[in-house]
Chains A and B, each alone.
Chain A
């Protein structure tokens, strides 16, 4: 029962273009969402988050959008840079729960 799904295992984008990573969830109790970025042989690092009371959060080149009615969030990276090549995990948290639920991850490759 995958409550958080990243349906695209991989994505390839040209440098300078926009990268859009998608995440869907099924649990309507989720009220906080996060994106983590992971390089090979390293642990995931926190990238950006959004509360369910918002529909957009922006931090430099990274913007996360939340569509509660569709139970969908997306991460936009503009412009994409070679250093953005990594695996991106979305994660969700529900009030009162003791854990984050992670998606399967999407491998983003930025081509020069």
Chain B
């Protein structure tokens, strides 16, 4: 049981380049999320998808787009990377959207550096 799988694990981009971070979960969860973790800032929500076919902005959506490809997969795209997007990105899933008995399950993260 793999849980939440993210690819790639590491990535270096030049300013202005684009890339897509992939995420897949095998727990049949309805909701999926993208977070970024920066030193001293904790985890901040970028986008989330309450269920297949829906996506919504989180706290820090600027510069990102997402696609909920199907129930299993939720991708995050950086169209024109900027140094401020250097961060560790975590994908997460939960059975229900931010429900009390539905804790988040996280992937192992993608460390992105933008030069």
By a beta-carbon cutoff of 8 Å, the part of chain A in contact with chain B is 4, 6, 9, 32, 34, 36, 41-46, 49, 51, 89, 91, 93, 97-100, 102-105
Contacts and interface: CB of A to CB of B under 8 A. Distances in A.
Interface of B: 4, 33, 40-45, 48, 50, 56, 58-59, 90, 92, 97-98, 100, 103-109
Nearest to A2: B42
A43 B98 contact: no
Chain B CB count within 10 A is highest, among A9, A44, A105, for A44
5 contacts: A4-B42, A43-B92, A43-B108, A98-B98, A102-B43
A87 B106 CA distance: 15
A8 B103 CA distance: 24
A105 B42 contact: yes
A52 to B, nearest CB: 10
Given A9-B40, A41-B109, 12 more contacts: A4-B42, A42-B109, A43-B92, A43-B109, A44-B90, A49-B100, A49-B103, A89-B42, A98-B98, A99-B45, A103-B42, A104-B40
A34 B102 CA distance: 11
B100 A93 contact: yes
B103 A43 contact: no
Given A34-B103, A98-B48, A99-B48, A44 B43 contact: yes
Interchain residue pairs A-B with the least CB separation, the first 7: A43-B106, A46-B103, A102-B42, A102-B43, A104-B42, A99-B45, A44-B106
Most interface-central of B42, B45, B92 (chain A CB within 10 A)? B42
A98 B58 CA distance: 8
